Amino acid sequence: MINLFYMEGLPVAVMGLGKSGLATAEALSESGAEVWVWDDNAASRAAALDKGYKVVDLTTADLSELTTIVWSPGIPHTHPAPHPVALRARAANIELVCDIELLARSERDSAYIGITGTNGKSTTTTLIGHVMDAAGRRIAVGGNLGTPALTFPSMGAGGSYVLEMSSYQLELTYSITFDVAVLLNITPDHLARHGGMDGYVAAKKLVFHRQTRPRTAVIGVDDPHCRAIYDELKAKGDQVIWPVSALGPVPGGVYAEGGWLIDDTQGDAERVADLATFPALLGTHNRQNAAAAYAACKAAGVPAPAIVAAMTTFPGLAHRQQLVRTIDGVRFVNDSKATNADATEKALATFDPIYWILGGQAKETGLDGLEAYAPRVRHAFLIGEASDRFAAWLEANKVPHTRCGTLDVAVNASAELALAEALPGACVLLSPACASWDQFANFEKRGEAFADAVNRLEGNSEPGERA
């Protein structure tokens, strides 16, 4: 746990008592601070009280003793309407920061790698951590990825923090200057929280805050917003800038072309890896993730051969296009994290032919937007509450399908058909396009159940493929 030595004896408030909020309260308490906590949820307040924390109603209390409120990034503090506590804090000249800001103030000698973007940041963060660890670096990986920043060990000089940064966190983090900053892509998201697209783009751009040479900016240039940021930073020339692309050559950067990962950071367009040797990084979107992770790790000083060797052993992000097992040439892929059609689209674009397991508790949009991928689906296997609704969509799009009801039945039925047909490139894909709550506590439990069912199947696994 991080020692927040500079907070000793000071009153500090924590607003929001989720996972990171509780970790912040614990770190502050262990560091000798006087900790006030508050959450709008009564059950969260009661749980904090049971843990011995001082629960103070920040909506009415005298805040004059405070200089800092550690703010949960998920609580609005500007748009669409600021929380009343944020208004009170700003009127009293009290700073609002998130837990990562406290980490930065405490661990000044460590190196920082920050990763943001609308899509792909969790995979890229995890991949960078995997490579850095394989290269023998002392690292801690987390942030928006799920591990609260203040639960990290102290890295000190020679250590690195690899942090997935949301737009919300970037707005509340002021002291970090990332040694390597990665911006993958920007598409419309969270617009209400940022007052529109301009505000969202501005928040993402904060990952490059105060960077100067030799610090490095790694920027995906496959969308117009990121391309504009790249052009702006390139014109200023304050930091080293490496563009990355999944779509083809970018001079002076790292890109995918013709199935190869190409490193042109030294101007020699060297082929460094056959992308087919990265089994957990399939699909166009993962080409960008691979290029960005390669560039980030190279900027952090990891030799290119070590980066490539580590990327070949990357297991993938759990429950996101995660290869569970290959049986007699048929891949079984866990994409349980795909809880809506937009997420499922990435998986459907990656595999062909597909034996598709889908269903659960449907979102409002259902399967809208996936029509173009219907020809890739050899057969669909329906589970859960959405079966009737999804069956109608499958019939309209001429996709053969079977109502299976439960996941274990769907795994057995899809495996039987896929193995019998033995088509080249076949994939049994769990990509539900639904929430899991009709049959599972969360998407993680659903993915674990899929993996368990797949691992019970008989057949010859390819070496190293069985999870």
Residue among 54, 190, 363, 445 flagged as catalytic: 190
Contact in structure between 219 and 183 (CB atoms under 8 Å)? yes
User: Judging by DSSP bridges, how do beta strands 216-220 and 240-245 pair with one another?
Assistant: parallel
Q: Which residues 6+ apart lie within 8 Å of 199 measured at CB? A: 79, 191
Question: Any known ligand binding at 119?
Answer: yes
129 assigned ligand-binding residue = no
Find out whether 52 is annotated in a ligand binding site.
no
The answer to whether 110 is annotated as binding is no
Closest by CA position to 164, among listed 150, 186, 146, 190: 146
Q: Which of 144, 185, 286, 289 is catalytic?
A: 144
The Cα–Cα gap between 405 and 383 comes to: 4
Q: Is 379 a catalytic residue?
A: no
CB contact set of 241 (below 8 Å; sequence gap of 6+):
216, 217, 219, 230, 233, 234, 252
334 is in an annotated binding site: no
Residue 17 CA to residue 209 CA, distance in Å, equals 28
77, 83, 121, 194: which one is catalytic?
121
* Distance set, CA 206 to CA 172, 377, 427 (Å): 10, 41, 40
Angle at 97 between CA 94 and CA 98, to 5 degrees: 150
Between CA 227 and CA 382 the distance in angstroms is 41
Residue pair 299/241 in contact by the 8 Å Cβ criterion: no
Is the Cβ–Cβ distance between 361 and 385 less than 8 Å?
yes
Residue 29 in marked binding region: no
Alpha-carbon span 181 to 215, nearest angstrom: 8
Q: From CA 227, how far away is CA 59, in angstroms rounded?
A: 42
Question: 123: annotated binding-site residue?
Answer: yes
Active site residue 190: yes
Q: How far apart are CA 13 and CA 68, in angstroms?
A: 7
Q: Point out the annotated binding site.
A: 117-123
Q: Point out the annotated binding site for ATP.
A: 117-123
Residues labelled catalytic: 121, 144, 190
